[in-house]
Chain A
Amino acid sequence: MQENERPRLQVRGISKQFPGVLANDRVSFSVAPGEIHALLGENGAGKSTLVKMIYGIMQPDEGEMFWNGQPLLVSNPKAARSRGIGMVFQHFSLFEALSVLENIALGMDGSLSMGELEKKVREVMQDYGLMLDPGRVVSSLSVGERQRIEIVRALLLKPELLIMDEPTSVLTPQEVTQLFETLRKLASEGCSILYISHKLHEIKELCDTATILRGGKVVGECNPAEETSKSMAEMMIGGSLKEISRGEDGALGDVLLKVNGLSLGRNHDFGTALADISFEVRRGEIFGVAGVAGNGQNELLEAMSGEMPAPREDAIILHGRPMGLLGPNQRRKAGLCCVPEERNGHAAIGDFSLSDNAVLTARHRKGLVKSGMVQGRAAEKYTREIISRFSVMATGPMAQAGSLSGGNLQKFIMGREILQVPEVLVVSQPTWGVDAGAAAFIHQALVDMAQAGSAIVVISQDLDELLALCETISVINEGKLSRAMPIKGVSVEELGLLMGGIHGTEETGERDRVENGAEKNGSGGIKEGKADAVQA
């Protein structure tokens, strides 16, 4: 009881100023022992800054923290670890060429013989159901398995508080279920967990309390179990969520894009080869490609944009015209536009003005270059049109692209392609790192565009997004694309299995086993997630 009165971690009035932005503004909250506490907020709400201060990576400008009632000073991560604070980052710091055990040994503060360490590692893995062979080389592991290394590394220190930063963004639904099991077990043993996420259904399923951040401030605290996803989302974005409005579900038109046995070798050492990819997209259709990051999404986008031309002319057919061998310019002229995942340095150039960024990809279809000369006025006019039609917050066409926030730049990029009215638009991660308001806007623009008669391919890791947007969905795994499935009637479990690399019916035994497991481990939460997404 006494423990409950004294919170494990108490944060009081923490502020942190960055050049131009107040990342945390007098933030206060506390975490009880054994509590799974969510920090919920949009990208840029200040969640990461907050936990970096708790873990000692940054120092707060103001405010104090208390650890089991004592003032807490953490000047660096090592000090945090010695106090019993562990953290699992979104991006892992692992050496690809070393084994699991070697990676763990490198991250340990104290010295321990390899034998002892292996024993301890095996114990921890056993206790928390983290299946992993300590001898495996990291490069052969999946993202989910890599995350387990980081978790084991944190657990070896017997933490009293474990910070998890967006842990599920790279996991399949089944891996998420496993992770939640581990976290629940940890919490039941008294370890507090600070869980950072913007995925509402996960928080509803896992967390006891949620602190909601917006613009660096705490805007609310709630019990996720008592809230609906919609109510939490509205607290998170500070307004009401607009639903995607669709017209009549009209019948789909003729095939605009046909991809035919597209195979492509790896373009660099860490790339993924595309193997025999085939799909069709019809006029008015939004076709979704789900999958865990790094399974060939970037390669697929570049194959579609012409940055990596296909080996065969008929591998990509746009409205009857073979495109496979053509480069980006000719494909754009023919009506195939693309938006790559990486905004800065791929889709747009941060050091260039918005107007120049419009010239980058819209010069052919919008006539922004005449007899070799850039038509500055026409480019500015088109840029102004994008800014006003897509509500881009920018000082004008001459604003540097890099000065825009992620969401605004993404709106600009989407607007730049959509206003060219291509027959086919292929977008990768259209709302990655974008705030909910901008994401809703982009989703609506895509739906409108499809209804106006274009065909759209959305490549995304965000299953909720795909379920909300698409008519048809397929899954990419290790460069292979699953069969296309109509969104009505597809189950999240099935998608999850495909994302994890279990294909077709030849592996039914395996599939049944995992599927049953998933069912048992509370797939209800995930189903609910789907429902939420559709309703949002």
Chain B
Amino acid sequence: MQFRLEKRAEVSRPMLYLTPVAAVIITMIVGAVIFSLLGFNGAIAVREIFLTPLTNSLKWQDLAVKSAPLIIIGVGLSIGFRANVWNIGAEGQYIAGGLAATGVALITHQMSGWWLLPLMGIAGILGGMAWVAVPAFLRVRLNVNEILTTLMLTYVAVQLLNFLVFGPWKSPFSFGQPQTVMFNDDQILPYIIPGTIVQAGAPIAILVAIFAWIMMGRSIFGFQVKTVGTAPDAARHGGFSNRQTVWITLLIGGGLAGLAGMLEVAGPFTRMVPQFPTNYGFTAIIVAFLGRLHPMGVMLAGLVLAISFVGGEVAQTTIGLPNPAVGLFQAMMLFFILAGDVLVRYRVRRVYHKKATGRDSDKKAGAEAGAS
């Protein structure tokens, strides 16, 4: 007896929506088992990571702060993934966006005015776009795989960041600390909900997701992206350029990652420091897949991942769970969602091993095929 995967005639809709939920639940169960084996109280670890951030209203503002960059980047990546364009270097574009915004902030440090933040925002977007333009050019012109180039450029971005904050951009008042000067008041995002730490990132994330939803669902561009991703030959026949799609989707992904970088550096960080890369760009890949590459799903998934970040910090203080544990949970989530994807397109069927003379077993297998 053995198992076989059989392609479904049609994509299973229930599975499409059930698998992300199932992935989160299985992650909780397996996580609880693993941490129990490691000598922690697994059930409490899971509760602290996944439930406390929701039940403790003091943590809600943290969720808003953490989920905003994940959603902004995740929405951008999901558009590319829909077109089978695999930008996995959003982290690098996020850093490049942060650096571009920092550059503008340093140049305009002596100035004031409402226009400084929008200018930094534009710089952030352009920075992210510039960083992804290299892989886009290489992919379109020379057919270089963008998975490799986007990822490799992430490490270049990290080195560039270090070079700048250790060198030309180092603040003269930092007592040797590798960091830039603090931005001036007009270069730092204001708190939009009084008494909280929520800045412009959260509402921007919601706007980005809604805009992407309409664009992907209703516009001819969204249609183009889906067509190129689903059936490249049909897209060509329909008059949609593959190259153009690669360019635009990569620029959107890079631009949104760059915008997230600007919102972070002008928000929580208020200056550029070597600790700026916080893996938002990589985590956003999980967000995009967990959200089924749908802008609204990405919003929910961004929240789930933010919960795990915030909950990880809670668990660290309450039960002394090591910080990498959060990474373990997030990785499991991605693993289970991708494994679950198989069930969307295939179903598992039991087959009986056929012997050369096994007439009965043949009959059984045949009957089973008939029944399914």
The chain A residues found within 8 Å of chain B, CB to CB, are 16-20, 59-62, 73, 75-76, 79, 305-307, 327-329, 332, 338, 340, 342, 345-352, 356, 359-361, 363, 369, 372-374, 376, 400, 402-403
Contacts and interface: CB of A to CB of B under 8 A. Distances in A.
B370 A17 contact: yes
Nearest to B366: A61
B237 interface: yes
B356 interface: yes
Interface centre among B9, B220, B355, B365 (most CB of A within 10 A): B220
A59 B365 contact: yes
Interface string B343-372: 000000000001111110011011101101
A75 B357 contact: yes
- The 9 A-B pairs of least Cβ separation, nearest first, read A329-B239, A17-B370, A328-B239, A360-B238, A61-B366, A346-B233, A349-B231, A59-B362, A345-B231
A346 B234 contact: yes
Given A373-B218, A374-B223, A361 B237 contact: yes
B27 interface: no
Nearest to B226: A352
18 contacts: A17-B369, A18-B369, A20-B9, A59-B365, A75-B355, A76-B354, A306-B239, A307-B236, A307-B237, A327-B241, A332-B239, A345-B231, A346-B234, A352-B226, A359-B223, A372-B219, A373-B218, A403-B10
A75 to B, nearest CB: 5
A361 B233 CA distance: 13
A19 B231 contact: no
B239 A327 contact: yes
Interface residues of B, number: 33
Given A352-B230, A373-B218, A402-B10, A328 B237 contact: yes
B234 A345 contact: yes
A350 to B, nearest CB: 8
B138 to A, nearest CB: 21
Nearest to B371: A17
A185 to B, nearest CB: 33
Contacts of A329: 239
B160 interface: no
B335 interface: no
Given A61-B369, A340-B237, A75 B362 contact: yes
Contacts of B238: 328, 360-361
Nearest to B11: A351
B367 A305 contact: no
B17 interface: no
A351 B9 contact: no
Contact of A19 (B9, B226, B357): B9
Contacts of A59: 354, 362-363, 365-366
Given A352-B226, A359-B223, 18 more contacts: A16-B366, A59-B365, A61-B370, A62-B366, A73-B359, A75-B356, A75-B358, A75-B362, A76-B356, A329-B239, A338-B237, A346-B233, A347-B237, A348-B234, A351-B11, A360-B227, A374-B223, A402-B9
Interface in B261-282: none
A79 B241 CA distance: 50
Given A345-B231, A347-B237, A60 B366 contact: yes
Given A59-B366, A329-B239, A347-B237, A73 B357 contact: yes
B155 interface: no
B370 A345 contact: no
Contacts of A75: 354-358, 362
B221 interface: yes
Task: Label chain B's interface by main secondary structure.
Answer: helix
Contacts of A351: 11, 230-231
Contacts of B218: 373-374, 376
B9 A369 contact: no
Contacts of A19: 9, 372
A16 B358 CA distance: 18
Nearest to A332: B239
A305 B237 contact: yes
Contacts of A361: 237-239
B366 to A, nearest CB: 4
A376 B223 CA distance: 12
B236 A349 contact: no
Contact of A79 (B219, B237, B356, B366): B356
A360 B234 contact: yes
A48 to B, nearest CB: 16
Contacts, number: 95
Contacts of A348: 234
Interface centre among B237, B357, B366 (most CB of A within 10 A): B237
A49 B23 CA distance: 39
A182 B218 CA distance: 60
Contacts of B367: 61
B236 A328 contact: yes
Nearest to B217: A374
A373 B372 contact: no
B230 A349 contact: yes
A332 B240 CA distance: 13
Nearest to B222: A374
Contacts of B241: 327
Interface in B1-45: 9-11
Interface in B134-161: none
A321 to B, nearest CB: 18
Nearest to B364: A59
Contacts of A402: 9-10
Interface centre among B10, B236, B241 (most CB of A within 10 A): B236
Nearest to A330: B239
Contacts of A345: 231, 233-234
Contacts of A373: 218-220
B233 A342 contact: yes
Contact of A356 (B223, B237, B359, B365): B223
Contacts of A360: 227, 234, 237-238
Given A360-B227, A402-B10, A349 B234 contact: yes
Nearest to A20: B9
Contacts of A400: 10
B223 A346 contact: no
B220 A346 contact: no
B232 to A, nearest CB: 8
A327 B369 CA distance: 47
A198 to B, nearest CB: 25
B13 to A, nearest CB: 11
Contacts of A20: 9
Contacts of B11: 351
A372 B220 contact: yes
A400 to B, nearest CB: 6
A66 to B, nearest CB: 14
Interface in B213-257: 218-221, 223, 226-227, 230-231, 233-234, 236-239, 241
A16 B10 CA distance: 21
Nearest to A305: B237
Contact of A374 (B219, B234, B355): B219
A385 B363 CA distance: 47
B220 A374 contact: yes
Contacts of A307: 236-237
A239 B83 CA distance: 46
A235 B233 CA distance: 38
Contacts of A338: 237
A73 B360 CA distance: 11
A352 B229 CA distance: 12
Nearest to A400: B10
A488 B289 CA distance: 61
B229 to A, nearest CB: 10
A168 B231 CA distance: 31
A352 B218 CA distance: 14
A386 B180 CA distance: 64
B219 to A, nearest CB: 5
Contacts of B231: 345-346, 349-351
A361 B240 CA distance: 10
B115 to A, nearest CB: 29
Nearest to B214: A373
